Amino acid sequence: MTNPPVTEPADAPDEAPPPPFDPAVVEGVLRQLDKTVKAHQLYEGDRNNPTYARSLEMARAAFTPLWAETDALVLQVSDLQFTWSGVPVHVQEGQTSDSLPWTLYKDGLRELTLTPGFEREEIEKFLAVIPRVRRATANDDDLLTILWEQEFQHLSYKYVELATEGAPIDSSAQPGKWPVMPGEVVEDPRMAVEAAQADASAEGKAGGSGAAEVKERPAGVVSMDDFDSTLYFLDDAEVRYLRQELNSEYGADLRKRTLDMLLDIYELQADALVRKEAVEKLDTLTIHLLSGGQFANVAYLIREAGVAAERAKELDQELRDRVKGLSDRLSDPKVLAELLGAMDDSPALPPAADLEQLFVQLRPTALGTIFAWIARSTNAKLKPLLEKAADRLAVSHTGEVVKLITSAEGAVAMEAVRRAGALKTPAAVVALGKLLNEPYRDLRIAAVGALVEIGTAGAMQALEKALEDLDRDVRVAAIKALSARTHKPALTRVGAIVKSKDIKDADRTERLALFELNGQLCGDSGVPYLDELLNGKGGLFARKEDPELRACAAVALGRIGTPKVQEALQKSAGEKDVVVRTAVSRALRGGRE
């Protein structure tokens, strides 16, 4: 209820009460906030820029002494200044585009309230709003709409409708709530009912004398006497139902409803011009939703647009393709790269479920871009989502994976090779075989691993080429792969390498691996050569091979494991050279330690 105005003597001077604390504290906060707004606009909110980062930290620090004095900063906004407790605390000389008071005032904002927590969680949102409003054109959203979209928790405001003169509109208005009209006061209905009940109780007590006292009811207050309680009073179940429906109404996503309306117009209206306009609005909304992080709504639009395009009757093919092509446009490498770049740089991502819904709508053409960003992304929350999207697209579109194996971008080719191996895709064998001629060592090693995973005869045949690779690690990887698969057709190439003069130049690990593979593949047909290598030709002065090479021959004989090799091994059982003797001993035990 409103108290009556206090009448003062005509000659009494108007003295405003002194502010509760030193205005210099508020002036310091607003001065630093203004500087930080300009720094945000200059450096486009890049937190990696040291100047902007320093200005942001100083703005946050400026609020510390303020919150030590008060728990809410209430500012009155005019075209040239901010006023606090009747004291001007931030004054600008003119109505210029870089004036913070004028930026807020010109769109109708008249009072701004900040509470503790604004500087930690929401200051960057506010800093982003101001440059956006300053650059806005006549067709863009105004300040009040942008502030409403941000859903601030520690910032509230009051404003007036610029088209009419009147009282400030309730800053906490929700979608669907009636605005305050000039001369009206909005109160909580529950408070109004409580006030009416209190009035009724007071009237009952006063009415004992038999004289009815007439009271003037303040504007906006509801009296229970205005209702017939017997006829219109609601029971508990009805009240719960109304509350449930109100919560459902106020909690509904208006963006999705807008999309539904446009899709209904597109589907049901036969007029081509009307449908064209609806499609244009959908395109515009898609951009706004993406920039606003409303990825679940974008996914919903793409999914439902395809359904609407199929159901629409007498629809021009161009308009049908345009709506069905929303997903194709989103999957375009340039568009998707910009979107993923913005996500990667964002400190806070939308809910993972929303992003997954969006990625489900991507087309196979997006696979290369996703592969590139898996390797490039530094956002720990985004990377797992990209991995899931890549898995889904790769499983459904192996042909696209095979095509990307030969991509000129190394990171994309590497991911494609990895996926081809994991999926055991036989169609990728030819492309992987070509990679064995690539100059990039890591890519060749990855190709060897993928061929092993695929494991078909064709994959093993392609793998034989890697036995003669210029890089030692690639050759060893190929040898181990062929050993694991026991690919007997490789014996010709392996035998030729073992008998070549170059075998002596190979390091011990590679040489031993080659002899083990040779023994595993050759069987008894390879015993004569290995016997001669281990034991040498007959005669007292016959020259024997290098001990390391003889030890490798003994290991190969042990791998053959047939009775025929026992005689060859027994000849060197008493060998004086410890390396050869140890290898022979192991071979006689079947190669076991």
504 DSSP assignment = G
Report yes or no: 522 and 500 within 8 Å, Cβ to Cβ.
Answer: no
- Taking the C-alpha atoms of residue 569 and residue 480, their distance in angstroms, rounded to an integer, is 25
Over residues 64-100, the pLDDT tens digits come to: 999 999 999 999 999 999 999 999 999 988 878 788 9
In this structure, are 478 and 505 located in the same domain? no
Domain holding 86, by residue range, is 23-159
**What end-to-end distance do the CA atoms of the chain give, in Å?**
96
- Taking the C-alpha atoms of residue 262 and residue 279, their distance in angstroms, rounded to an integer, is 8
H/E run at residue 88: strand 87-91
End residue of a domain, out of 159, 179, 199: 159
Which of 67-81, 263-277, 462-476, 565-579 is the least confident region? 565-579
In this structure, are 38 and 148 located in the same domain? yes
pLDDT at 248: 82
pLDDT of 7 above 50 = no
Q: Is residue 68 part of a domain?
A: yes
Over residues 373-417, the pLDDT tens digits come to: 888 888 888 888 888 888 888 888 888 888 888 888 888 888 898
Q: Residue 226: which pLDDT band, with cuts at 50, 70 and 90?
A: low
Q: Is residue 171 part of a domain?
A: no
In this structure, are 30 and 124 located in the same domain? yes
pLDDT of 257 above 50 = yes
End residue of a domain, out of 330, 364, 380: 330
* Average pLDDT, integer, range 24-46: 90
* Number of DSSP helices (H) and strands (E) in the chain, helices first: 29, 5
pTM: 0.48
Q: Is residue 320 part of a domain?
A: yes
In this structure, are 418 and 518 located in the same domain? no
In this structure, are 47 and 149 located in the same domain? yes
- Taking the C-alpha atoms of residue 450 and residue 78, their distance in angstroms, rounded to an integer, is 69
pLDDT at 177: 42
Report yes or no: 554 and 584 within 8 Å, Cβ to Cβ.
Answer: yes
Q: Is residue 493 part of a domain?
A: no
End residue of a domain, out of 108, 132, 159: 159
pLDDT of 442 above 90 = no
In this structure, are 534 and 480 located in the same domain? no
Instruction: Tell me the CATH number at 554.
Output: 1.25.10.10
pLDDT at 167: 45
Over residues 193-206, the pLDDT tens digits come to: 455 555 555 555 55
Q: Residue 186: which pLDDT band, with cuts at 50, 70 and 90?
A: very low
* Domain count across the chain: 4
pLDDT at 593: 43
As beta bridge partners, residue 76 has: 83, 111
pLDDT of 62 above 90 = yes
Q: Residue 189: which pLDDT band, with cuts at 50, 70 and 90?
A: very low
pLDDT of 51 above 80 = yes
Burial class (CB in 10 A: 0-12, 13-18, 19+), 201: exposed
pLDDT at 4: 44
Q: Would you report the helix, strand and coil content of the chain in percent, each value rounded to 5?
A: 65, 5, 30
In this structure, are 440 and 324 located in the same domain? no
pLDDT at 36: 92
Over residues 510-560, the pLDDT tens digits come to: 888 888 888 878 887 778 888 778 777 654 444 566 778 888 888 888 888
pLDDT at 529: 82
- Taking the C-alpha atoms of residue 70 and residue 29, their distance in angstroms, rounded to an integer, is 13
Q: Is residue 145 part of a domain?
A: yes
Q: Is residue 7 part of a domain?
A: no
Helix axes 472-485 and 441-454, enclosed angle (nearest 10): 0
Tell me the average pLDDT of the chain: 79
In this structure, are 410 and 470 located in the same domain? yes
As beta bridge partners, residue 461 has: none
Q: Is residue 97 part of a domain?
A: yes
In this structure, are 30 and 137 located in the same domain? yes
- Bridge-based pairing state of the strands 87-91 and 81-84: antiparallel
In this structure, are 41 and 121 located in the same domain? yes
In this structure, are 466 and 529 located in the same domain? no
In this structure, are 473 and 505 located in the same domain? no
Residue 592 has phi, psi (to 5 degrees) of -85, 150
pLDDT at 175: 44
Q: How many CB atoms lie within 10 A of CB 179?
A: 11
- Taking the C-alpha atoms of residue 417 and residue 206, their distance in angstroms, rounded to an integer, is 90
Q: Show the beta-strand stretches assigned E in 132-253.
A: 155-159
Q: Residue 326: which pLDDT band, with cuts at 50, 70 and 90?
A: confident
Q: Is residue 465 part of a domain?
A: yes
